[in-house]
Amino acid sequence: MHRKLRLRNRQDFNRVYRGGRSFANSQLVVYWSKKPDIPQFRLGVSVSKKLGNAVVRNRMRRVLKEIVRIHAERIADHTDLILIARKPSVQMTSKELEKSVLHVLKKANLLKPRPPRSSS
């Protein structure tokens, strides 16, 4: 993830928590808010100490950021997102976590529609 695509300061997190909407599944919660002055989306990741030690938390952060980076072109622009990992996500493989991230983003209506495939 590029540095400019990250939510980093407390004010941005509080703005999204207070003024945004949220959707969840059993592994993740996503809070999101529209931000019209920013052309692309920005991402913040939150992993609680309840999930494990620093090694576990940092791994979760890295995996979640990588999943979002891979699917960045599908995520709605002008949006600030916060992904919060829940306890069951720690035992998941990267593929399962990817499906879970896409599920919660789709539930929040934050994924752009896929372009139609052309049959050749």
Give residue-wise pLDDT tens across range 27-70: 999 999 998 888 889 999 999 999 999 999 999 999 999 999 99
Coil, helix or strand at residue 85: strand
Average model confidence (pLDDT) across the chain: 90
More confident residue, 85 or 8: 85
What are the backbone dihedrals phi and psi of residue 22, each rounded to the nearest 5 degrees, phi first? -135, 150
pLDDT score of 10: 92
pLDDT tens digits, 67-88: 999 999 999 999 999 999 999 9
Closest to 110 measured CA to CA, from 70, 86, 74: 74
